[in-house]
Every structure is written in C-alpha cells, then in structure tokens.
C-alpha cells in the first residue's frame, strides 16, 4: 500500500515538473519574438529633415554672337548672367541654353562649354571679358552662392551649323536653365536677340 502511495506521489511530482518546464519554454519563446520585433523596428531607416531650400533668380544682362574661331559654320554665344539667391546656399550646375526661333535647324537645349579668350561685349562701354576667368558655370560649381548674395559671370554656348543671321530676328529669344544641389530647376526670363520686339 505504501509502495502504491509513493508511486502516486512520484507521478504527481513529475507531472508538475513537466508543466512548469512547458510554461518556462513558452515564456522564453515569447521574449525572443518580442526582442526580434523590437530590433527590426529599430533598424528601420529614419527620415532626415529636408535641407533648407534654395531660391534662385537669374537674369541675362548681355548677349554676344560670333563665329567659332576655326569653325565659321558654327556660332558661339556668350551671355553675361547675374544670379541672385534668396534661399539656402547651394552650388549650381547643368547650365543649358534654350533657343526659340522660327528659323529651321537652330539647335536648343545646348550645354554650356568652357572656353578661353577675351571677347568684347556689345554695348556703349565696349567691355572686354576674359571668358576663362569669368565662367559662371565654373564659379558656381566650386563655390556655393550664399543666402542674400548675387554673383555674375559669363556663359558660353556653341550652336552647330548656325549663323548670326538666323538668330538676328525680332522673334528669336533665348533662356538659360540651371539646377541647384537639390535638383531644383530654374529659368531666366526670355531675352530677345537682335532688334527689339515691336509694340502692338
């Protein structure tokens, strides 16, 4: 009889131990799952605050047309451009020339080129400009235009298979586009080449 009681008590103790171990395993598994979820959440990328926006305005001050030396069939265009910044500081890049002309075959969307030499700009002052030193595309690519300041320089473009006569019309205009370091696109107002537009 005592032997039976002893066996019964031993069986009860074994059942209790098995039940306790099962609960501990469940608790441990739950803790591991929670920790894994937490780590995954912490590893997610945190969105960065947007940088201070730039606000540029460009104006074409002067236009000079002349045949490319050694390639008289191509036309060079030199522009004096002023850039003002009322936003955050930024370098400028991707300068392009847009030409709006009724003449057929006039290229547009032309990239700025870096050239050397001294040219005389049209106008009463007959001002001479060193193209290499005053290249606006180089100046603004190396040094950011700071807030509340302006900078001026020259931009040079080459229009293949184009003559000055094709552009010297009342309805031919040019604009310059450029981008800041954040990829925002800016345009200068239209500037008309040749004679001024006749008033209505």
Question: Residues 6 or more apart from 113 whose CB is under 8 A from it?
Answer: 156, 157, 158
Q: Measured between alpha carbons, how far is residue 29 from residues 16, 20, 47, 196 in Å?
A: 20, 14, 32, 82
Which of 119, 138, 23 lies closest to 76, judged by CA? 119
Whole-prediction pTM value?
0.67
List all residues 6 or more positions away from 189 whose beta carbon is below 8 Å from its beta carbon: 59, 60, 175
pLDDT in tens, 64-94: 899 998 999 999 999 999 999 999 999 999 9
Q: What is the pLDDT of residues 88-132, one digit of tens each?
A: 999 999 999 999 998 888 999 999 999 888 877 665 456 788 888
Q: How far apart are CA 105 and CA 189, in angstroms?
A: 23
CA separation for the pair 43, 10 (Å, rounded): 50
Instruction: Please name each of the domains of the chain with its CATH number.
Output: 56-192 (2.60.40)
């Amino acid at each position: 009889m005592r032997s039976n009681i002893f066996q019964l008590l031993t069986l009860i103790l074994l059942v209790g131990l098995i039940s306790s171990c099962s609960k501990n395993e469940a608790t441990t598994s739950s803790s591991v799952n929670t920790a894994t979820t937490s780590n995954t959440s912490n590893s997610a990328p945190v969105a960065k605050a947007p940088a201070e926006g730039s606000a540029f305005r460009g104006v074409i001050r002067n236009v000079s047309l002349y045949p490319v030396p050694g390639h008289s069939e191509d036309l060079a265009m030199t522009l004096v451009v002023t850039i003002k910044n009322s936003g955050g500081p930024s370098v400028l890049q991707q300068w392009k020339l847009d030409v709006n002309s009724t003449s057929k075959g006039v290229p547009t969307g032309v990239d700025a080129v870096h050239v050397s030499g001294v040219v005389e700009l049209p106008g009463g002052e007959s001002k001479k400009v060193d193209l290499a030193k005053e290249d606006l595309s180089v100046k603004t690519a190396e040094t950011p235009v700071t807030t509340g300041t302006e900078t001026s320089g020259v931009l040079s473009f080459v229009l293949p298979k184009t003559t000055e006569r094709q552009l010297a019309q009342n309805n031919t205009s040019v604009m310059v586009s450029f981008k800041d370091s954040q990829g925002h696109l800016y345009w200068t107002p239209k500037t008309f080449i040749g004679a001024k537009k006749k008033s209505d």
